[in-house]
Amino acid sequence: KQEVTQIPAALSVPEGENLVLNCSFTDSAIYNLQWFRQDPGKGLTSLLLIQSSQREQTSGRLNASLDKSSGRSTLYIAASQPGDSATYLCAVRPTGSQGNLIFGKGTKLSVKP
């Protein structure tokens, strides 16, 4: 059974720092991996999607990497800003599933001004 773990559960950094959020999954048979952002009481915003054949994706200050064989992904946020404060969720889509996503519990990020 696929399980997704995110470490740390919470992170507080000063503004301007570069930071890395970690995601690990137990079964490397995945179709893709997606990073989301969730603001308090709100839905999910998709940040980056990495197909299983890709190693990384970049969008602005965000860079996500994928090492499928070791079951790991990282989300790198450069020059963090207070507006980056949110919960970041990692989700994998197992191969053979009907579009299901298996989510981690998330990392709650707080960027202090």
Partner 1 sequence: ETGVTQTPRHLVMGMTNKKSLKCEQHLGHNAMYWYKQSAKKPLELMFVYNFKEQTENNSVPSRFSPECPNSSHLFLHLHTLQPEDSALYLCASSQGDFQKFFGPGTRLTVL
Handedness of CA 77, 11, 101, 70 (dihedral sign): positive
The Cα-based distances of 105 to 7, 18, 39 in angstroms read 9, 22, 14
The answer to whether 93 contacts partner 1 (rule: CB under 8 A) is yes
Instruction: Compose the 10-39 pattern: x for residues touching partner 1 by CB under 8 A, - for all others.
Output: ---------------------xx-x-x---
Nearer to partner 1, 32 or 54 (CB): 32
Dihedral in degrees, nearest 10, Cα atoms 5, 37, 99, 23: -20
Residues near partner 1 (CB under 8 A), total = 24
Q: List residues near partner 1 by CB under 8 A.
A: 4, 31-32, 34, 36, 41-46, 49, 89, 91, 93, 98-106
